[in-house]
Amino acid sequence: MESYLAIKSILMATAIIGAFGVFYRRTKRLVLLMKRVQGRNAVVPDRIGDRVRILFTEVLGQSNVRRKVLPGLAHSLIFFGFLAVQPHSLELMVRGVFPAVHVADLAPGLYGGYLFIADILAFLVLLGLGYGLYRRLVIRPAYLTNGRDARLIIALIAVIIVTFHLINAFLMLPSIGGTGFDYGRFLTVSQALEELLELKTLSPAAGRIIYETTYWIHILTILGFLVYIPGSKHLHMLAAVPNVFLKPLEWPKPMIKTDLEAEGAQTYGLGKVSDLSWKGVLDLYACTECGRCEEQCPAAMTGKPLSPQRVIQDAKVDLLQQSDAILGRSFEAVKPMVREGSPITGDVLWSCTTCRACEEICPVDIQHLDILLESRKHQVLMEASFPPEMQDTFTNLENQSNPWGFGSDTRGDWARDLDVPRLCDRPQAELLFYVGCAGSFDDRGKKISQSMARVLKKAGVDFAILGEEERCNGDVARRVGNEYLAQMMIQENAAVLNQYSPKKILTGCPHCYNTLKNEYPQFGARFEVVHATEFILDLFRQGRLTLAPDAAPERVAFHDSCYLGRWNGIFGTPRELLRIICAGAPVELPRSADKGLCCGAGGGRMFMEEKIGKRINAERVDDVLASGAAMTAAACPFCITMLRDGLADRGSRVEVKDIAELVDMATS
Partner 1 sequence: MANIGVLIENGAEGIKETHFGVITAARRSSGGVFFAFLLNGDASAAKTALETYGVQKVVGVTAAAADFGVRPELQAAALAAAVKHFGITGLLGLGSPRGRDLLARVAALLDAPLVQDCLNVNLEDGTVVKSHFSGRTTATLRLKGNPMICSLRPNSVEPVPAPATATVESFQFPSADCGRIRVKEVKKSSAGALDLAEASVIITGGRAIGASDNYQMLRECAEALGAGVGASRAAVDAGYAPHSMQVGQTGKTVSPKLYIACGVSGAIQHFAGMKTSKVIVAINSDKDAPIFGKSTYGIIGDMFEVVPILTEVLRKRRRQG
Quick check: 637 and 511 in contact, CB under 8 A?
A: no
The Cα-based distances of 505 to 465, 534, 620 in angstroms read 10, 12, 31
Tell me whether residue 467 or residue 604 sits nearer to partner 1 (CB atom). 604
The Cα-based distances of 101 to 89, 179, 220, 222 in angstroms read 14, 14, 20, 21
The answer to whether 550 contacts partner 1 (rule: CB under 8 A) is no
Tell me whether residue 330 or residue 395 sits nearer to partner 1 (CB atom). 395
Tell me whether residue 258 or residue 617 sits nearer to partner 1 (CB atom). 617
Residue type, 44: V
User: From the CB of residue 569, how many other CB atoms can be counted at a distance below 10 Å?
Assistant: 13
The answer to whether 405 contacts partner 1 (rule: CB under 8 A) is yes
The answer to whether 441 contacts partner 1 (rule: CB under 8 A) is yes
Quick check: 615 and 576 in contact, CB under 8 A?
A: no
Question: In the range 217-276, which residues lie near partner 1 by CB under 8 A?
Answer: none
C-alpha to C-alpha distance for 432 and 386, rounded to whole angstroms: 35
Tell me whether residue 168 or residue 396 sits nearer to partner 1 (CB atom). 396
Interface region with partner 1, contact rule CB under 8 A, candidates 33-41, 86-94, 517-525, 642-650: 642-650
Quick check: 637 and 441 in contact, CB under 8 A?
A: no
Residue type, 216: W
The answer to whether 609 contacts partner 1 (rule: CB under 8 A) is yes
The answer to whether 395 contacts partner 1 (rule: CB under 8 A) is yes
C-alpha to C-alpha distance for 512 and 488, rounded to whole angstroms: 16
Cα angle for residues 296, 298, 141 (degrees, 5° grid): 45
Of positions 400, 450, 507, 592, contacts partner 1 by CB under 8 A:
400
Quick check: 251 and 44 in contact, CB under 8 A?
A: no
Of positions 114, 216, 406, 571, contacts partner 1 by CB under 8 A:
406
Q: How far is the CB of 442 from partner 1 (least distance, A)?
A: 4
Of positions 305, 403, 600, 602, contacts partner 1 by CB under 8 A:
403
Tell me whether residue 445 or residue 602 sits nearer to partner 1 (CB atom). 445
The answer to whether 444 contacts partner 1 (rule: CB under 8 A) is yes
Tell me whether residue 445 or residue 565 sits nearer to partner 1 (CB atom). 445
Quick check: 654 and 647 in contact, CB under 8 A?
A: yes
- Reduced to 3 states, what is the DSSP secondary structure of residue 233? helix
The answer to whether 443 contacts partner 1 (rule: CB under 8 A) is yes
Tell me whether residue 288 or residue 401 sits nearer to partner 1 (CB atom). 401
Query: Which residues, at least 6 apart from 491, have a Cβ–Cβ distance to it below 8 Å?
Result: 523
User: From the CB of residue 41, how many other CB atoms can be counted at a distance below 10 Å?
Assistant: 17
Tell me whether residue 482 or residue 533 sits nearer to partner 1 (CB atom). 482
Q: How far is the CB of 447 from partner 1 (least distance, A)?
A: 10
Do β-strands 655-658 and 631-634 pair in parallel, antiparallel, or remain unpaired? parallel
Interface region with partner 1, contact rule CB under 8 A, candidates 66-74, 288-296, 443-451, 520-528: 443-451
Q: How far is the CB of 346 from partner 1 (least distance, A)?
A: 16
Q: How far is the CB of 32 from partner 1 (least distance, A)?
A: 46
Interface region with partner 1, contact rule CB under 8 A, candidates 8-16, 243-251, 542-550, 608-616: 608-616
Backbone angles phi, psi at 98, to 5 degrees: -120, 90
C-alpha to C-alpha distance for 29 and 162, rounded to whole angstroms: 32
Is the dihedral angle over the CA atoms 642, 645, 650, 652 positive or is it negative? positive
# residues near partner 1 by CB under 8 A: 27
Q: How far is the CB of 608 from partner 1 (least distance, A)?
A: 7
The answer to whether 14 contacts partner 1 (rule: CB under 8 A) is no
Binding site for partner 1 (CB under 8 A): 389, 392-393, 395-396, 399-400, 403-407, 438, 441-445, 607-609, 611, 615, 641, 645, 648-649
